[in-house]
Structure 1
């Protein structure tokens, strides 16, 4: 791990582990309260929501969570299902407060204790955990210690702007809302302040949703003007070190581009999702019930089966056989706890017929409890990935003038835009309709670009054409076979007559101010031309990337050394500009 210069801040993980483990010890020592454990349903609503507010929010649930809860409660009233909540009591200090690690630890400890106490007081109650910002961090940190004793009680999890948000989390919602993977790195200000590692939610918490809006500076990288606000916050010599938490307070309060709100926009959708997880009150109190999430899946997929009301099975140590109609074969067995709850993963058989069916759980008297489930068709297997060779138009490197008797050098950039390496392929150069070169080229990786040059010896005056074809025999099998050939036409005149070849729009103006951004480590430069076809990035003399026009940054993809020189050039059909160069910063 990298070291920090944050004043008064200690490592977060050990602090949270110590505080939460201490809290768990206390919670386990709290005896169940018989009077509350036997309380009637009116004293113990069906669903209890634990809400954790965000940094600096006043006592209560916080705006995002409260907006969702209010809508959820309204929907549950229509279903005649009772709901209540409690706002977690913990400091929720502002993000610039150096005691934030202690605040998170206290919140996680409080949550572990309260879940344990509430589970003892209301044995049949179902729990929802919801948090925003620091509150989401609190809940995420407490999950490992909630798993063993109370996993079956947690019916849903909802996190907004979790600083530990992971882009690949299967519970990230809505899918794709986190932004494109090639332009986003999910490490926000808190990750950089406390050296946090993003973490996927554990699979046992299903069903769950976790959100991070694109540009949210707490759970994702600062971009654009927000990055400009923060550029003086971190030590440029140590990208992951902060100068002073006091600077963060000033920037946070004064920068209008820091985004960290508006999660209440998801409230209506999330409330409907939560309400859909709970059955309407049938008038029969706490009989054996099961629920499957998700309620549909393809053969071979995994679902979660939860049960409540199986108290007799739990107290007698009896297992509950579970299966999928029409088969009577048991797929999995669940062991309810003393309160009659269980949560177990079940795999849908690969041979299951598609269509509506039911999941069943066998009662002790031979009858069964059933819940609807739909087996959906497997999506068509993805087509095998293929290469796609797309050469650029041949362009003059300006090593020799294009005039009669000279030997200009032309180049093509061969980009593989497909999803697989090309393998060895043939190349062909055609001069004025005649094949002048047939040869081969080594494999180009998916997404990579390479070049090939052709020297036109003793070029003659007049109108000429030059054609390049990649994979001229169409032997490698590409996803697109229609973009392999490019041609350029131009006129050659006698040397010294004041005119050159065509087309010659002029070599682009060279880029300038090549440098590595001290906050993100991204290579950046100024685009000074208006006629470039694109940019090339060289590591010393090796071409590392060919980028489209108007590009002003490159996120890397190559292993760089402190001794390397990085060069950026602009190019078009007329040639390649001079380079803007920079060294690789070392830290």
Structure 2
């Protein structure tokens, strides 16, 4: 069950009150998620905090800036991926492996809700304690991926999932360069690519802003993360983003607590399921299967047959009257 948590406007409200009913597909996908949540290894929150504090004290080395500068190297550093209806991009937290990460069950629930419609990409970046360099690469890789896919697959919609350092990477990639801590020179998401972002779900975001309407959780709206971004940086994405933060997570609530348990609470507090359900409700209608289409064709033929000459007289008369009207 999703945990009870407060909104940034105050008061306690269960997450279901802020969620559109998702139907059978959501229920099946989240049932699978409940089995998977215990599989992910937890990262070290203290190491994450120490690495994040170095982001503002140690600037990115010039060679890293030059290597990933969009002006110096304008060609994309990624190749186009398959043109599935939905692309799910996960950006893991500091120290998490590519597999069995916190975001894995979230992505899996979305995939299982839409079999054969999704492609998942784990963002190729180090996710280590060298955040300045690694997150700069992550921002460049994500920006190029979004832009390349928008051009190669104009019908594809993108879902972005980020945890901890991964939330920083996604947020800075989407924000204007002057609002970034990492990747200020790695280019910008094009308007076309931004329009194709269907949903953004972040957990334990170090750049969290308590007053922003994108926040969800038990946090205080008066408290920000360790490295808060300028308020309003996510305004273009407000209607398609959830930025989850709990009160005792010192990464997204920098002054409330030093308890390390808060930053890993998302593994078992129900917010994985809540984030997955939110994304699933934003997906488009489920396409008809071949069998459903055939049944629809058969039903249409049956309806049409009622107007044939051998149909009962009252049916033919009703059809003729409807045709005249």
Determine the C-alpha separation between the residues in 2 that align with 1:32 and 1:260. 31
3-state SS of paired residue (1:276): helix
Match of 2:242 among 205, 209, 219: 209
Match of 2:253 among 212, 220, 228: 220
Match of 1:131 among 152, 155, 162: 162
TM-score, normalised via structure 2 length: 0.59
The residue that corresponds to 1:46 in the other structure is 85
The residue that corresponds to 2:143 in the other structure is 112
The residue that corresponds to 1:266 in the other structure is 271
Determine the C-alpha separation between the residues in 1 that align with 2:168 and 2:78. 28
3-state SS of paired residue (1:137): helix
Determine the C-alpha separation between the residues in 1 that align with 2:109 and 2:225. 31
Specify the structure having the higher radius of gyration (Cα).
1
- After superposition, the Cα gap between the structure-2 partners of 1:221 and 1:82, relative to the gap in structure 1 and judged at 3 Å, is same
Determine the C-alpha separation between the residues in 2 that align with 1:280 and 1:90. 33
Match of 1:276 among 271, 276, 281: 281
The residue that corresponds to 2:121 in the other structure is 86
Given that 1:20 and 1:142 are in contact with CA atoms closer than 8 Å, whether structure 2 keeps it comes out as no
Q: CA deviation at 1:57?
A: 0.8
Number of paired residues?
Answer: 222
The residue that corresponds to 2:27 in the other structure is none
3-state SS of paired residue (2:251): coil
3-state SS of paired residue (1:73): helix
Determine the C-alpha separation between the residues in 1 that align with 2:77 and 2:106. 33
The residue that corresponds to 2:32 in the other structure is none
3-state SS of paired residue (2:246): coil
Determine the C-alpha separation between the residues in 2 that align with 1:10 and 1:158. 28
Spell out the pairing of 1:185-334 with structure 2 (5 A cutoff): 185-188=223-226, 191=227, 197=229, 199-205=231-237, 206-223=239-256, 226=258, 257-264=260-267, 265-283=270-288
RCO greater where, 1 or 2, for CA within 8 Å and sep 6 or more? 2
Are 1:22 and 2:54 an aligned pair?
Answer: no
Q: CA deviation at 1:23?
A: 3.9
CA-based RMSD of the aligned residues comes to 3.5
The residue that corresponds to 1:57 in the other structure is 96
Given that 1:216 and 1:260 are in contact with CA atoms closer than 8 Å, whether structure 2 keeps it comes out as yes
Determine the C-alpha separation between the residues in 2 that align with 1:262 and 1:70. 19
The residue that corresponds to 1:156 in the other structure is 199
Given that 1:163 and 1:218 are in contact with CA atoms closer than 8 Å, whether structure 2 keeps it comes out as yes
Determine the C-alpha separation between the residues in 2 that align with 1:75 and 1:199. 34
1:218-275 per-position Cα deviation (integer Å, ceiling 9, x unaligned): 1112445x2xxxxxxxxxxxxxxxxxxxxxxxxxxxxx74531122421222212111
Match of 2:114 among 52, 70, 76: 76
Spell out the pairing of 1:432-471 with structure 2 (5 A cutoff): none
Given that 1:46 and 1:82 are in contact with CA atoms closer than 8 Å, whether structure 2 keeps it comes out as yes
Are 1:178 and 2:225 an aligned pair?
Answer: no
3-state SS of paired residue (2:114): helix
Q: CA deviation at 1:24?
A: 7.1
Match of 1:100 among 122, 131, 137: 131
Determine the C-alpha separation between the residues in 2 that align with 1:202 and 1:52. 18
Given that 1:131 and 1:159 are in contact with CA atoms closer than 8 Å, whether structure 2 keeps it comes out as yes
Given that 2:111 and 2:118 are in contact with CA atoms closer than 8 Å, whether structure 1 keeps it comes out as yes
3-state SS of paired residue (2:248): coil
Match of 2:208 among 165, 178, 187: 165
- After superposition, the Cα gap between the structure-2 partners of 1:267 and 1:259, relative to the gap in structure 1 and judged at 3 Å, is closer
Q: Which has the higher strand share?
A: 1
- After superposition, the Cα gap between the structure-2 partners of 1:31 and 1:168, relative to the gap in structure 1 and judged at 3 Å, is closer
Q: CA deviation at 1:211?
A: 1.3
- After superposition, the Cα gap between the structure-2 partners of 1:107 and 1:268, relative to the gap in structure 1 and judged at 3 Å, is same
3-state SS of paired residue (1:164): coil
Q: Any gaps of 5 or more consecutive residues in structure 2?
A: 1-52, 177-187, 290-325
Given that 2:106 and 2:275 are in contact with CA atoms closer than 8 Å, whether structure 1 keeps it comes out as yes
Given that 2:249 and 2:260 are in contact with CA atoms closer than 8 Å, whether structure 1 keeps it comes out as no
Q: CA deviation at 1:55?
A: 0.5
Q: CA deviation at 1:152?
A: 1.4
3-state SS of paired residue (1:262): helix
- After superposition, the Cα gap between the structure-2 partners of 1:258 and 1:204, relative to the gap in structure 1 and judged at 3 Å, is same
Given that 1:24 and 1:109 are in contact with CA atoms closer than 8 Å, whether structure 2 keeps it comes out as no
Q: CA deviation at 1:104?
A: 1.2
Q: Which has the higher helix share?
A: 2
Spell out the pairing of 1:384-463 with structure 2 (5 A cutoff): none
3-state SS of paired residue (1:166): coil
Determine the C-alpha separation between the residues in 1 that align with 2:84 and 2:173. 24
Determine the C-alpha separation between the residues in 1 that align with 2:87 and 2:205. 21
Determine the C-alpha separation between the residues in 2 that align with 1:31 and 1:179. 39
Q: CA deviation at 1:124?
A: 1.4
